[in-house]
Structure 1
Amino acid sequence: LRSAAQVVSYEIAMGLSFVAVFIFAGTLSTSEIVKAQEQTWFAVLLIPSFLIYVVCMFGEAARIPFDLPEGEGELVGGFQTEYSSSLKFALIMMGEYLHTFTASGIAVTLFLGGWRAPLPMDWEWAHTGWVPVLWFFIKFVLTFSFIVWVRASLPRVRYDQLMSLGWKVLIPVNLAWILL
């Protein structure tokens, strides 16, 4: 129940942050969204949507500080107790990391310019051959490193704070930003 409630509350806010990107870019095509970020990244232009996406990325992936569905201190049972030394546990953990990889890739594509070089380095050779793949990979690694850093440095929040943040802060702020 904890997991379902958390996914529902943060999925709505995450979808609304995507709506702002789609409206600003004027398209749903990811290549066109990256092309629309030629001059300035959407992380700068749409900073409220980007910050809400970052918070929702942690909430959706159930990562610290929003890892209440698998909170070891509160829950006696669960998959961490049942599968503590088996291949099933490894598959579950790989699935969680795959989720954070996907969230990082979406953040890079929709908000951080995708495969385009940062503006001060916007030379002709920076967009040819394998160099765009390198730019995407660098941004991806930095985003994933941020996720790991946050996991290592923040404490877990209470469940009522988690739900209040999703329903009373993120969704109304995102709706107001879209209307603005």
Structure 2
Amino acid sequence: MENDPDIVVRNSSSVRSQAEHLGLESPESLVVLPRNYFSADDVDELKMNQEALTIEKLLEQEGVDPDELTESNERPVTHAWSAETIGPIIHFTAEFLVENWDSVLTVIGLIESYYSTQRHSSIKFKFSVEHPDGTCKQVEYEGEPDKLEQVLDKLEVERDELMESDPDEAEATDDKETESA
């Protein structure tokens, strides 16, 4: 019998505020954040794990180019030796989440597919969405890779809330979906 994944939605610190604190530019779309992003007091403390680099490469191969907080060659890489895979924080700006839902689907699908084929029994990922007012929601996932798509339900709730708070954005998104149909 397979276990249901743990999916928790909670308020989170502002990615934009932390970027300012660290002297970095705020992400404008999608960014793969180090696991220690919110606890770092200095940009030199940021450490990407191997999983973050793998996710970035997979996204780039699919034509989804994530923002970079720092230059790739300036980021130290940590290696975790664990039975479970602990991924990075995947952060979406409100605008990206609303206007690029197909890319969000691609991100989740790539992660799910990659880790399912790697025969990982358990993965941990965090997905963050920053609203225009600076508030942030984080969706934390822990479970089997092939059930990661369940995160989409939570992200879709965030997307719907954003669209309801900005009716012009909802119309623009509806127009885009109509054009692509």
Bigger fraction of residues in helix: 1
Asked if Structure 1 and Structure 2 have the same fold, meaning a TM-score greater than 0.5 normalized by the shorter chain, the answer is: no
**TM-score, scaled relative to structure 1:** 0.32
